[in-house]
Structure 1
Amino acid sequence: MGERDAAGGGGGVTLDPTPAPLTAPGRLAAVVSTGLTAKADPALDRFTAMVRTVLDVPVALISLVEADRQIFPGACGLADPWQRQRQTPLSHSFCQHVVVTAEPLIIPDARTDSRVIGNLAIHDLNVVGYAGMPLTDATGQVLGSLCAIDSSPRRWTAKELAVLSELAAACSDMLRLRVTTRTARHRENQARARNATADAAFDRSQLLLRASSALAETSTGDDIVEVVRDLVTGSLNPAYVGVSLLDPAGQVNLQSGLSLPPRIAERWHHYTGTAATPSALAVRLGAQVLLPDLATVQALTPDALDTFTEMGWQSAASVPLPGVAGPIGALTFVWKQPYQLDPAEQAVLAALAGFVAQALQRADYLVSRENVATVLQRALLSELPDGAPYELAARYEPAARGEYVGGDWYDAVRLDTAHLALVVGDVTGHDMRAAALMGRLRNKLRLLLVDRHEPPAALLRRLDTANRALGDQITATALLAYLQPEFDREGHRLHWSNAGHPSPILITGTGAIALQGRDPLIGAPTRSPRTSHTHHLPPGSTLLFYTDGLIETRRYTFDERERLLHAAAAALADKPLPELLDRLYRDFAGDDHEDDVALLAVRTPHRI
């Protein structure tokens, strides 16, 4: 019951055709004051892309509600024509509920929620799970919502809603900043020469707009520190910009030590959160710490006085970095002369700290997600067995973009002394879901290999049958081959069946050929029969199994790349297998390939 309450449910406000809050003149004027229309705004698009990544939803929107429509100046993931048109009538608006109630709207399943059950967005925009947080201007007018949308039912967790709420607060700051910037621009056009204060406000507003864009591109703590330093050079002109983070044990960790002398960086690399320093004090108070001169530094943060004296610093300002459960650290600026921040500058630093905190939390999320993906992939890929008398080598590389984990796999299973089963396959997709499906498919096939001594085509049929019986909607290509000696002549025999996979390559001293024969892929709706094939392998032959990520490219056809691969493989026939795989991966996939790559090579002995 608690989870249901946290996620929202049926009941609530039922809107009139034109509720009064939607058409209130003051609110509509506030929407107009943003200057946003049904056109893409790059900064807001980047913001929704960040929301989509952090919450792992297919669609994220910044929706502003006008009298008869909603517009999407920020949108990521919408299908066309909505992504192109950037607007819908109110018949498709969940956001209007947020405006009317001035509160979040949390819907696990719109198809059963009485507040929106008749809304056309459910069918036309595929809106099922929805979480929308109010976006307000400086006077509290609700302009619209920041919303995360799922095309499937979604049980929104308290943590997800807290993160979305924090992001909505930052987005509201951006909208307020936009209004302030437009006002500053208007005044600057009227009295540029007479109003230096307006020029300064404009410059600071531009700084924050640049910050929202530049910080959205960062992925590590070092990147963030460098971006902040570049942003404030030429405006606030500090001598030093510091970022410190609070760890779970209450210790403060300096993240910006590279810009300090080693002895100073070492002194403050890791220290107690109870210390009297600008950063620690800002974190404890949850408020800005302003130190306009050295006397104030001595009075409020005496533990830092020696460092200030040694570095020739005379003033500082430290701003807490906001997090869901309180400050996560502090952003600190230091000057070599007394410096008193005016209210406008304090507001700029507070907004900048919000952007920095989001960037740091996003960087931490991305690192954690990448680590999880790496561990998952390693757990799913098999270690090659001792292949004697055969030589074995394999390589797996995830796609260079995405979650660094995917659905390609290789496998080798020793069935008896000289009888080896070889597998390579590719589940559709290169993300965590594809990796999970791949793991299930791989495990089923391994079980069949050790339990059923049947031709490869029969085992692939059993694999298809098992998937259907267990309700697994897995679509994949796969190739299963048996390698064993031929006792009536010198050499070995390959016995294989191919379910829609690239053909294996046989490499001998005379060249390289593809071993043809291909049936429908695993999970295909057709019930076409599967076939097994055999081929004689001379002593010292090399077999190469690979997934299509090795040669798939947008510049050349698959057949052209396949011919190039055959020629390259033939030229490497005498190379050790690890070198052969490394060279082929480097020359054909490289560091920027868009799909996962799995390679498996086996070499038969020169003599039996």
Structure 2
Amino acid sequence: MNAPHLPKVAGIDSTVPPPAHTAPCAQGAPAASGAQSAPGALIQDRLAGWVSDLTTLHELTERLSRTAALDGALGELLRAGAALVGARRGLVVLEPADGLGPTTTVGLGLARADLGHLETVPRAATSFGRLLDATAGAIPGVPDSAPTAKTAPPAAAPVTEIVQPDLLADEALDPRHREVAVRLGYAASYALPLLTDTAGRVGAVVWLYDEPAEPAERQRHLIGRYLQYATEHLARLVELDRARSTTATLRTELLPPRLPRVPGVQLAARHGTGPRGGGDWFDALPLPDAALGLAVGSVTGSGPSAVAAMGRLRASLRAYAVMEGEDPVAVLSDLELLLRLTEPARSATALFAFCEPALRKIVLAGAGHSPPLIVGERRTEFVETSLSAPLGMLACWEAPSVDIRPEPGETLLLYTDGLLQRTGDAMDRAFARLHAAAASVPKAARDDPGEIADHVLRTVLPEGLDGPAAAASEEDVVLLAARFE
């Protein structure tokens, strides 16, 4: 009699091999009264195994999908894979085939020094090196005596693997590889490439066993299924990382590479960027008659388009400042007209200050921007600026300017709203926190605008510009300090 056909269940591929925990039916065992037949019990056992495997894969892919950065995704891939193949340690080498990067190596249960030891092994002698250098579907240069290259079960996508179940018993093993394996205490390895249909090779991953071992057929099938999703996720994160790197490079090139030296004033600037890269900017430019122009601003939006708009706005402000910098209202009025005509769908905030250091005189105007802060021995106070709309919000922008007379040794702090918003507090409490941070600057640090800026940032943002709060926020932070002598 023909063997019974397994029923089709939604979402389950009935062609996968039986679960490892499924035991064969005992022949000749008497069936209990009312008990199901042996074929029925086998079907239920297989279905239970498939459902268990699918649940496990679902949980692991869900955890991976919540990672938004490459390092986190690589670490999650290693942990999940180690659980699926029964290993304790491993490493993943990220090396996209197009050569555009990023390239990195992340270990599980391996310290940085351990990864350094592995890097001393000739690339061709490592399983991940052979996978990275291999052409699709083949591993060139593997002798017949070396560990065989196998393919995953037919139910999974074609995946080439290198199994080394007993490294120390392999006479063809490279001597340096043997030495490192003994030093690090692993005796077997299981390696897989990270391949996608669209991006090609992304990298390779290796799991290490403390004793001679290799994954069972079921484990290989599960890790193959998992890597199908994981590699696509990594490929998306690689593209995102490249976009962020390009945006960061563009933003760096658009901001001042260095601050000018003007007699009578010392300058310092600090800049932090959110994960998507926003349009916050600053500028300091020497003007005729030993004057100095200071500016900070923010463009709505994030990503490359906001960075490009920021560059255009900053370049235009520099031109207007050179022509009529002594009148900050005129500078911002011209900037507003340009923004309204060239980018009507975008708005921006800006603050421009015309400084005459020899006279210790500042004339400034703001368009929807937070007021600057004066920090000195005898006062720490916000400058009273007129309430005004951001650029691009009204048909015609205009607001009165404000005159400031800083005392010798006082510092003017210009900043963007991101500094306040990254605190997570309501705006009134964020302003109070900023004021308290500026007032608490140690006396020994008040002679250096850089130390003042660093103290304010450490106090307002204890986790720093690049801490966990920065990764969770899309806000840029700009802080420009000008100390008058």
Q: Same fold by TM (over 0.5)?
A: yes
Q: 1:471 to 1:205 in 2, by over 3 A?
A: closer
What residue number does 2:5 align with? none
* 1:375 corresponds to 2:249: yes
What residue number does 1:391 align with? 266
- Contact kept? 2:91, 2:206, Cα under 8 Å: yes
- Contact kept? 2:265, 2:357, Cα under 8 Å: no
What residue number does 2:154 align with? none
What residue number does 2:239 align with? 365
| Residue of 310, 321, 326 corresponding to 2:194 | 321
Q: Deviations over 1:113-142 (max 9, x none)?
A: xxxxxxxxxxxxxxxxxxxxxxxx869xxx
What residue number does 1:596 align with? 476
Instruction: In structure 1, give the amino acid aligned to 2:221.
Output: A
Q: Deviations over 1:221-246 (max 9, x none)?
A: 76556434533556542476454566
SS at structure 2 position matched to 1:362: helix
- Provide the C-alpha distance between the structure 2 equivalents of 1:582 and 1:534, rounded to a whole number of angstroms: 27
- Provide the C-alpha distance between the structure 1 equivalents of 2:423 and 2:299, rounded to a whole number of angstroms: 20
Instruction: In structure 2, give the amino acid aligned to 1:275.
Output: G
1:445 deviates by: 0.6
Please show how residues 93-104 of structure 1 align to structure 2 within 5 Å. none
- Provide the C-alpha distance between the structure 1 equivalents of 2:427 and 2:84, rounded to a whole number of angstroms: 54
- Contact kept? 2:287, 2:322, Cα under 8 Å: yes
User: Which blocks of at least 5 consecutive residues in structure 1 are unaligned?
Assistant: 1-29, 35-136, 140-175, 181-186
What residue number does 2:121 align with? 267
What residue number does 1:276 align with? 142
Q: 1:325 to 1:281 in 2, by over 3 A?
A: farther
What residue number does 1:147 align with? none
Instruction: In structure 2, give the amino acid aligned to 1:386.
Output: R
* 1:494 corresponds to 2:362: yes
What residue number does 2:56 align with? 207
1:557 deviates by: 3.4
Please show how residues 580-591 of structure 1 align to structure 2 within 5 Å. 580-591=452-463
1:289 deviates by: 4.3
Q: Deviations over 1:311-355 (max 9, x none)?
A: 69887655443222644444455664465743x444323212213
Please show how residues 37-116 of structure 1 align to structure 2 within 5 Å. none
More RCO (CA 8 Å, sep 6+): 2
1:269 deviates by: 4.4
Q: 1:545 to 1:200 in 2, by over 3 A?
A: same
- Contact kept? 1:286, 1:327, Cα under 8 Å: no
SS at structure 2 position matched to 1:521: coil
What residue number does 2:426 align with? 557
- Provide the C-alpha distance between the structure 2 equivalents of 1:450 and 1:436, rounded to a whole number of angstroms: 22
TM-score by structure 1 length? Answer: 0.57
* 1:512 corresponds to 2:380: yes
What residue number does 1:9 align with? none
* Larger displacement relative to structure 2 (254-263 or 494-503): 254-263
- Contact kept? 1:331, 1:353, Cα under 8 Å: no
1:441 deviates by: 0.7
- Provide the C-alpha distance between the structure 2 equivalents of 1:505 and 1:391, rounded to a whole number of angstroms: 16
Q: 1:600 to 1:345 in 2, by over 3 A?
A: closer
SS at structure 1 position matched to 2:301: coil
- Contact kept? 1:254, 1:269, Cα under 8 Å: no
* Larger displacement relative to structure 2 (378-387 or 259-268): 259-268
- Provide the C-alpha distance between the structure 1 equivalents of 2:67 and 2:166, rounded to a whole number of angstroms: 34
What residue number does 2:86 align with? 237
- Contact kept? 1:228, 1:241, Cα under 8 Å: no
- Provide the C-alpha distance between the structure 1 equivalents of 2:338 and 2:232, rounded to a whole number of angstroms: 46
Instruction: In structure 2, give the amino acid aligned to 1:389.
Output: G
* 1:578 corresponds to 2:450: yes
1:415 deviates by: 0.8
Quote the sequence identity (%): 24
- Provide the C-alpha distance between the structure 2 equivalents of 1:599 and 1:249, rounded to a whole number of angstroms: 38
Q: 1:413 to 1:304 in 2, by over 3 A?
A: same
* Larger displacement relative to structure 2 (374-383 or 258-267): 258-267
1:448 deviates by: 1.1
* 1:419 corresponds to 2:291: yes
Q: 1:384 to 1:263 in 2, by over 3 A?
A: closer
| Residue of 29, 45, 65 corresponding to 1:216 | 65
Q: 1:256 to 1:503 in 2, by over 3 A?
A: closer
- Calculate the aligned-residue CA RMSD, in Å: 4.4
What residue number does 1:408 align with? 280
How many equivalent pairs are there? 414
1:589 deviates by: 2.9
Q: 1:202 to 1:503 in 2, by over 3 A?
A: same
- Provide the C-alpha distance between the structure 1 equivalents of 2:424 and 2:72, rounded to a whole number of angstroms: 33
- Provide the C-alpha distance between the structure 2 equivalents of 1:377 and 1:601, rounded to a whole number of angstroms: 20
- Provide the C-alpha distance between the structure 2 equivalents of 1:220 and 1:552, rounded to a whole number of angstroms: 22
* 1:545 corresponds to 2:414: yes
User: Which blocks of at least 5 consecutive residues in structure 2 are unaligned?
Assistant: 1-7, 20-35, 134-139, 152-156, 464-468
| Residue of 531, 538, 541 corresponding to 2:400 | 531
* Larger displacement relative to structure 2 (548-557 or 513-522): 548-557
Instruction: In structure 1, give the amino acid aligned to 2:195.
Output: P
- Provide the C-alpha distance between the structure 2 equivalents of 1:554 and 1:257, rounded to a whole number of angstroms: 34
1:461 deviates by: 1.0
Q: 1:196 to 1:226 in 2, by over 3 A?
A: farther
- Provide the C-alpha distance between the structure 1 equivalents of 2:482 and 2:262, rounded to a whole number of angstroms: 9
- Provide the C-alpha distance between the structure 1 equivalents of 2:290 and 2:404, rounded to a whole number of angstroms: 17
Q: 1:454 to 1:138 in 2, by over 3 A?
A: same
TM-score by structure 2 length? Answer: 0.70
SS at structure 2 position matched to 1:520: coil
Q: 1:472 to 1:440 in 2, by over 3 A?
A: farther
SS at structure 2 position matched to 1:503: coil
- Provide the C-alpha distance between the structure 1 equivalents of 2:237 and 2:147, rounded to a whole number of angstroms: 21
SS at structure 2 position matched to 1:413: strand
- Provide the C-alpha distance between the structure 2 equivalents of 1:334 and 1:512, rounded to a whole number of angstroms: 59
